[in-house]
Structure 1
Amino acid sequence: MSETGMTETASRGSSPPVATMLPTVLLGAAMSLLILLTVSGNVLVCLAVFTTRRLRCFTNCFIVSLAVTDLLLGVLVLPFSAMLRLTDEWPLGATFCNIYISLDVMLCTASILTLLVISMDRYLAVTMPLRYTALVLPGRVVVAMASVWTVSLAVSFLPIHMGWNTSNGTVQNRGPGDPERRCRFELNGAYALTDSLVTFFLPLAVMCWTYYRILRIARAQARRIIVSRPACPVAGYDGRSNTPSIASTATAAVASVTAVALREHKATVTLAAVIGAFVVCWLPYFLLFTVMGVREQEEPGPEYQVVLWLGYANSALNPILYAALNRDFRSAYAQLLGCQWPRYREIWSRRPSPLEAGNQLTEVTLLCGHNAATCRAGLAEERHMLQEVNNRSTDIQLTINGSAATDVNGNER
C-alpha cells in the first residue's frame, strides 16, 4: 500500500471517534455549566443573607436552607452523576455508589420539601399578617426544618441501605450477581409509590393550593385598593403654597392605582413561574420513576437521564425564583458582584417613598417568603416609613394598613 493510501486510511479511521466524541463533549459542557450555575447561584444566596443586615431574618432560614441543600446537591451529587452519565461506568465501588444514590435522593427530597415549607410560610404571611410573627417562631422554624431532613433521611439512606427498595430485599449493587463498575438505583413498586407520593405528589398538591389562595388574596387586595384609592387620593402640593393641587392629587391617585395593578400582575407572574418551574422540572422524573418502580425495571432507558437532569435544573433555578425576584436580594447581589450600574446604586441607596412603602412591604411578604417585621433592621425601617406616612398623609397610612390586614377570605379585619 502506498504512503498516500495509508494516510487516507488513517484519516478515515480517525474520523468516527471525533464525530462520536463531539456529542459527549457538548453534553459534558452543558452539565458543567449547570453544575456551575447551581453552585455559584446558591453560594450567592447564602452570602447575600449573611452579609446584608436587612436580609437577616430568622424566617429567611428557609431560603438559606434551600440554597444550602441545592449547593450540597451541586457539590456532592452532580459531579458524580455527570461522570456516570458520560462514562457509563462507576469505578468507586458499590459502597460509595449506594452512598451517592442516598445523597441524591436525600438532597432532592430536602429541596422539594423546603419549597413546600416556603409555600406554607408565604401562605401564613399573606393570610394572617397580624398573627404571623406570633405563629412563625424560631422554635417552630427549627422544627419545620428538622422535619424536612428527617423525612429526607427516612426515604433515602434507610431504605436503600436496608434493601427495602429492591425487588428481592437485598441491598442494591452489593449482591454476587450485580455487575462490577456499575451503579444502579433499583426500585420496587412499594418504594416507588411511597417515595413519589410523600416527596412529590402531596407537596405538589399543597403548593398548588397555597399559591392559589395567595393569588386570590392578592387579586382581592388589588381590586379593593383600586376601588378605594380614588375616593381618598393622596394630596399633592403646587410648590408655591401649602394648599393641595388638584392636578397633583389626581396624578398621585392614578399613579397609586397603577402601582397596585402592576404589583398584582407581578405577583401573578411570579407565582406562576414558581409553580410552573417546579412542575416542569420534577413532574416528568417522578412519573417515570413511578412507572419504573411498578414495572420493577432494572435497566433505565436513556430518557431516565434526561428527566433526572431536568429535575437537577430546578436547583439552579431556585436562586432566581426565590431570591433574585426580590429587590433586597437583587441589591445584595449587585453589591456582592461589584455592579456599578446607576440603577443598582439607586435601588441600594435610596429610601422608599411613602407611596412605595406599602407596596414594598407587601412585596417582601408575598414574593420573598418572609415578613419584614420579623427582622430587627426591617422592623426599625418599617416603623420609620410608617411614621413618615402618618406625618404626610393619614389616607396613605389607612390604605396601607387596610391592604395588609386581611383574613384568609380576603376580607378586611
Structure 2
Amino acid sequence: MHPCYEVDNFSYKLATTPSTKCLVIYISLSFFSLVTTCGNLLVIISVIYFKQLHTPTNSLILSLAVADLLVGVLVFPFSIAFTVTSCVYQEHLLCKLRDSFDVALCTSSILHLCFISIDRYYAVCKPLTYTVRINDRVAAIMILVCWGVSVLIGIAIIVAGFSQGKCEGNCSVDVLLANIMGPVFSFYLPAIIMLSIYLKIFLVAQKQARSIHNTKSGATVSKMERKATKTLAIVMGVFLLCLTPYFLCIVFEPLSKESTPLAVIEALNWLTLSNSMLNPFIYAFFYSWFRSAFRMIISGKIFQGDFVNSKL
C-alpha cells in the first residue's frame, strides 16, 4: 500500500492526514530538490561572475549546470507530485509534462557530456591546435545543438503523445519503439562514444606522462589538463552509474512477462535525478577554483567589493 494513501469505506484514496513515512518521503525529496537547485546555482554564478572561469570548457559546464538546475526546479516537483500522490491529479497531463522535461533535460545532459569529452580530447591529445579548434564560438554552437535537440525531443513527446502512464501503471513513456530505440540513440550510443573518447584520452595522457621532457611550465600545463580531464571523466562516470540502471530497466521491461513494480521504477527514476544534485559536489571536491568561488559566494564576499578578476 502506498504510504501516502489510506483505505476508507473500501476505497483507496489519498490520506487527509499524511503518515510519518509519507511526510519523510515528501520532506526528503523536497530537500534533494533544494540542494540540486542551490548547488547548480553556485556553479552558474561562479562561471558567470569570475573572469578566470570564462573558458570554452567552463561554458559547457555552465550550460550543463543550467540543465541540472532545471531538473531541480521543474522535474523534481513533478516527480515529487507523482511519487507522493501516485499521479492522482490530472494523471495524463502530469505524466506528459514530467516525461517531456525529464527526457529533454536528460538528453541535454548527455549531449553536453559528449561535447565536453570532445573538448577534453583536443585539450589533451591535440594541445597545439586546441585554442584554434575549441573557442568561444565553437562552444556556443555546441551549446545551441545540445538545447536545440533537447527541446525538439521534449516537444515531440508531448505532441506524439508517447506518455500514456496511468495510476495503476508507470508514469513513463510506454511505447515499445520509444522504450527501445529512444535509449539506444539518446543514451547508449552517446555513452559508447564518450567512453571511447575518454579511453583514447587516457592512453594519450599515459603516454604524455612517460615522455614529458619539456620545460617545467609545459609539464605543469599538461598536468593541469590531465587533472581537468580526470575530473570531467568522473562527472561522466557518475552520470553513467546514475542513469544506466534506469535505461536497462526500460529497455528490458517490454521483453519481460511481468511488469516492473512501480516502486522499482520510481527508485531508479530518482537515482537518475540524483545525478543533477551530485555534479556541483564533484566540481567542489576536485576543483580548487570552484571551491574558492563557492566560498566567496556563500560568504557573501562578492557583494562587498569587485572580485571579478580575483585569482581563484
The answer for the alignment partner of 1:330 in structure 2 is 291
Instruction: Please point out which of 127, 130, 140 is paired with 1:129.
Output: 127
Structure 1, 49-58 or 331-340: larger mean CA deviation? 331-340
Cα distance in structure 2, aligned partners of 1:98 and 1:156:
10
Q: Aligned to 2:240, which of 274, 279, 282?
A: 279
The amino acid that maps onto 2:288 is R
The residue aligned with 1:189 is 176
CA distance in 2, matches of 1:110, 1:269: 22
CA distance in 1: counterparts of 2:37 and 2:112, whole angstroms: 18
Q: SS state of the match for residue 156, structure 1?
A: helix
Deviation at 1:222, TM superposition (A): 2.1
Partner in structure 2 of residue 113 of structure 1: 111
Matched-pair contact (CA < 8 Å) for 2:55–2:136: no
Alignment of 1:308-323 (within 5 A): 308-322=269-283
Structure 1 Cα separation of the partners of residues 79 and 119 of structure 2? 32
For residues 272 and 233 of structure 1, the distance between their equivalents in structure 2, rounded to whole angstroms, comes to: 25
Partner in structure 2 of residue 398 of structure 1: none
- Partner residue of 2:202 out of 189, 198, 215: 215
Partner of 2:89: 91
Structure 1 equivalent of residue 102 of structure 2: 104
For the structure 1 residues 35 and 296, does the alpha-carbon distance in structure 2 shift closer, same or farther, using more than 3 Å as the test? farther
**Counterpart of 1:188 in structure 2: which amino acid?**
V
Q: CA deviation at 1:201?
A: 0.7
Given the superposition, is the C-alpha separation of residues 263 and 145 from structure 1 closer, same or farther in structure 2, using an over 3 Å criterion?
closer
What is the CA–CA distance in structure 2 between the aligned matches of 1:43 and 1:292, rounded to whole Å? 36
Q: 1:106 to 1:298 in 2, by over 3 A?
A: farther
Question: Partner of 1:363 in structure 2?
Answer: none
Greater Cα shift, 106-115 or 24-33:
24-33
Structure 1 residues 332, 350: closer, same or farther in 2, change over 3 A? closer
Distance (whole Å) between structure 1 residues aligned to residue 138 and residue 257 of structure 2: 40
Rounded to whole Å, the distance in 2 between the matches of 1:337 and 1:289 is: 40
Answer whether contact 1:45 1:64 (CA < 8 A) is retained.
yes
SS of the aligned residue for 1:155 comes to helix
User: Counterpart in 2 of 1:204?
Assistant: 191
CA shift digits 1:189-243 (9 cap, x unpaired) = 2111221011111111112112222222222222223xx48xx999xxxxxxxxx
The 2-side partners of 1:25 and 1:146 are apart by 40
Corresponding residue SS for 1:109: helix
Q: Is the 8 A contact 1:69 1:111 kept in 2?
A: yes
Q: Is 2:284 aligned against 1:292?
A: no
**Mean CA deviation greater in 58-67 or 266-275:** 266-275
Give the corresponding residue for 1:55.
Answer: 53
Q: Which residue of 2 aligns with 1:22?
A: 20
* Change over 3 Å in CA distance of 1:107–1:67 after alignment to 2: same
8 Å CA contact retained: 1:69, 1:110: yes
Identify the residue that residue 39 of structure 2 maps to in structure 1: 41
**TM-score (ref. length: structure 2):** 0.78
AA matched with 2:275: N
| C-alpha distance in structure 2 between counterparts of 1:319 and 1:88, whole Å | 30
For 1:296 and 1:149, locate their aligned partners in 2 and report how far apart those are by CA, in whole Å.
37
Q: Which aligned pairs between 1:151-300 and structure 2 lie closer than 5 A?
A: 151-163=149-161, 165=162, 172=164, 184-225=171-212, 228=213, 270=231, 273-294=234-255
Query: Cα deviation per residue 1:3-44 (whole Å; 9 max; x = unaligned)?
Result: xxxxxxxxxxxxxx9xx9233233223212211221011000
Inter-partner Cα distance in structure 2 for 1:269 and 1:141:
20
Provide the TM-score with structure 1 as the length reference: 0.61
Q: Give the letter aligned to residue 195 of structure 1.
A: G
Question: CA 1:275–1:184 in structure 2 vs 1: closer, same or farther (change >3 Å)?
Answer: closer
1:183–1:216 Cα change, 3 Å: closer
The letter for the 1-side match of 2:193 is V
Alignment pair present for 1:71 and 2:85 = no
One-letter code of the match for 2:164?
A: Q
- 1:288-344 CA distances to partner (integer Å, 9 max, x unpaired)? 11123455988852110111110101101112334652222222112112299xxxx
1:110–1:300 distance in 2 versus 1, CA, 3 Å = farther
Specify the SS of the correspondent of 2:174.
Answer: coil
Q: Secondary structure at the match of 1:314?
A: helix
Which secondary structure does the structure 1 equivalent of 2:116 belong to?
Answer: helix
Preserved contact between residue 111 and residue 146 of structure 2 (Cα < 8 Å): yes
Change (3 A) 1:179 1:318: closer
What is the distance in 1 between the residues matched to 2:225 and 2:127? 18
Cα distance in structure 1, aligned partners of 2:265 and 2:93: 23
Q: 1:120·1:210 contact (CA, 8 Å) conserved in 2?
A: yes
* 1:265 CA drift (Å): 9.4
Q: Are 2:123 and 2:225, in contact at CA under 8 Å, matched by a contact in 1?
A: no
In structure 2, list runs of 5 or more residues that go unmatched: 1-14, 302-308
CA contact 2:164–2:174 (8 Å) conserved in 1 = no
Say if 2:50 and 2:310, in contact at 8 Å, map to a contact too: no
Equivalent position SS for 1:184? coil
For 2:228 and 2:47, how far apart are their aligned partners in 1?
A: 22
Partner of 1:241: none
